[in-house]
Amino acid sequence: MQVKVYYHDTDCGGVVYYANYLKYLEEARTEFLAERGISVRELAAGGTLFVVSRQEIDYKFPAVYGDTLTIGTRIAETTAVRIYYEHEIRNQRDQLIAKACTLLVCVDRELKPRSIPEEIKEKIAANPE
């Protein structure tokens, strides 16, 4: 996924504000699933939700106003209730901006862990990164 850095994404120094990377990662995961025919909206409407239970980000180089960032997303591991994503964010010069790992847990409407639906597992497994 690509994202352009706008002024509102930056701090007073023109550098992407660190918390905005969380937004970029969320959007990248949503697009990753959509490319595999999985609608986060439809899952939620049916009572299947994914919540972030752990987030790690290593910032390597500053992204700045005007950059175009490419966010690479892959699933490193799945369990019965968890999806472990790995992300790399690079700028238009292919400089590594950040590396991130996100752990999602599948839950029901009461936010209790539940098994990831088989259909989701199949779509993730059937489509290469």
Annotated catalytic residue, options 11, 58, 94, 108: 11
Specify the DSSP element, H or E, that contains 124: helix 118-126
Active site includes 11?
Answer: yes
User: What is the spatial distance between Cα 105 and Cα 114, in angstroms, rounded to a whole number?
Assistant: 8
User: What is the spatial distance between Cα 124 and Cα 105, in angstroms, rounded to a whole number?
Assistant: 15
Chain-centroid distance, C-alpha 77: 14
Q: Where are the beta strands (DSSP E) in 1-129?
A: 2-4, 49-59, 68-78, 82-90, 96-107
Q: Which residues are catalytic?
A: 11
